A = this chain, B = another copy of it.
């Protein structure tokens, strides 16, 4: 039973239907009707004018955005456990032509203005040290914690004050919104975010993610960078159609709610083992190696995060039965 990664889940049937419906002659690249609808669809969703680009990975979405926000010779402040630092194989340096990730530390991969400000203070303002140009956060964080709108706004204010661009890794933004009920606008552009990745693949998509620009003047730059990075697919309509399907009728929100609920079910089974509060669809538990082995022996598949820690990730399609069996198994450890 899979609790390994939301990337292992299937695509939602509506996503497959949308691909099939797009299977007809249309203009190449992003000239098709679905691609043309993305700007409008996301502008409606965010309640402000945005520019939206399909890409196939979160890494591409994040790093294209970072490349537009940070010159090669400056740095991006982020958490030391941020996905862009630990799981993108150096893609930020590749896309930006060498910008430096300036690593900050704080529990749960969640940054506070104090930590960001202290890091800025620590950097000598001269040509010898790499000066920060951007701040990047992840919501939900890599440990499943959520930023509230006010928290992001505080980071956004600090960024503005210090002349930093503000990037959001939204691989699990749907889970964040589903959990807090806050508005997309409040946790993004109203809080000062300039550009973000909007994740769909972990949330029932097949292979389409979105890059959203609130600073719409960066769109031409991004369009060229996307092509140059080999990310302008010649039959882009199959990506755009997936995204349109996810955004329509709140499918993105429904899927995220289902995944979050599954995580809550697990959390309640082992409140004392939780390493972090369970706020989205990730559950980090303290278990001994022996206990982990017992769970695996019962057919549960998950990530051994580190000594004495496991990570469970729930998905939009998590079966009730498997969930109950795991909850029972954890409680019984």
Point out residues on A near B: beta carbons under 8 Å: 2, 4-5, 7-11, 16, 19-20, 23-29, 55-61, 63-64, 71-75, 86-91, 93-95, 97-100, 103, 127-131, 201-202, 206-207, 221, 223-235, 238-239
- Bound together, the chains give a CA A128 to CA B128 distance in angstroms of 29
A228 near B25 (CB under 8 angstroms)?
no
B24 near A5 (CB under 8 angstroms)?
no
> Considering only CB atoms, which chain B residue lies closest to A123 in the complex?
B86
- Bound together, the chains give a CA A234 to CA B208 distance in angstroms of 10
A8 near B23 (CB under 8 angstroms)?
no
**30 contacts across the A-B interface (CB closer than 8 A):** A4-B28, A8-B26, A8-B27, A10-B23, A11-B23, A11-B235, A16-B19, A56-B56, A56-B230, A56-B231, A57-B232, A57-B234, A59-B230, A61-B230, A72-B94, A72-B97, A73-B221, A73-B225, A74-B90, A75-B90, A87-B129, A88-B228, A90-B130, A93-B100, A94-B229, A103-B103, A127-B223, A128-B227, A131-B224, A207-B235
What distance in Å separates the Cβ of A121 from its nearest Cβ neighbour in chain B? 12
- Bound together, the chains give a CA A189 to CA B25 distance in angstroms of 35
Q: Which residues of B contact A231 (CB under 8 A)?
A: 56-57, 60, 230-231
Q: Which residues of B contact A11 (CB under 8 A)?
A: 23, 235, 238
Known A-B contacts A26-B8, A97-B97, A238-B206; A73 and B90 likewise in contact (beta carbons under 8 Å): yes
Q: How many copies of this chain does one complex carry?
A: 4
Known A-B contacts A72-B97, A230-B63; A89 and B57 likewise in contact (beta carbons under 8 Å): no
- Bound together, the chains give a CA A247 to CA B175 distance in angstroms of 39
What distance in Å separates the Cβ of A97 from its nearest Cβ neighbour in chain B? 4
A229 near B91 (CB under 8 angstroms)?
yes
B10 near A228 (CB under 8 angstroms)?
no
- Bound together, the chains give a CA A89 to CA B124 distance in angstroms of 11
Partner of A25, one of B2, B60, B97, B230: B2
Indicate the member of A27, A89, A226 with the most B CB atoms within 10 Å: A89
A10 near B25 (CB under 8 angstroms)?
yes
| Pairs of residues from A and B, 6 with the lowest C-beta to C-beta distance, nearest first | A60-B230, A97-B97, A93-B98, A7-B28, A59-B230, A7-B234
What distance in Å separates the Cβ of A210 from its nearest Cβ neighbour in chain B? 14
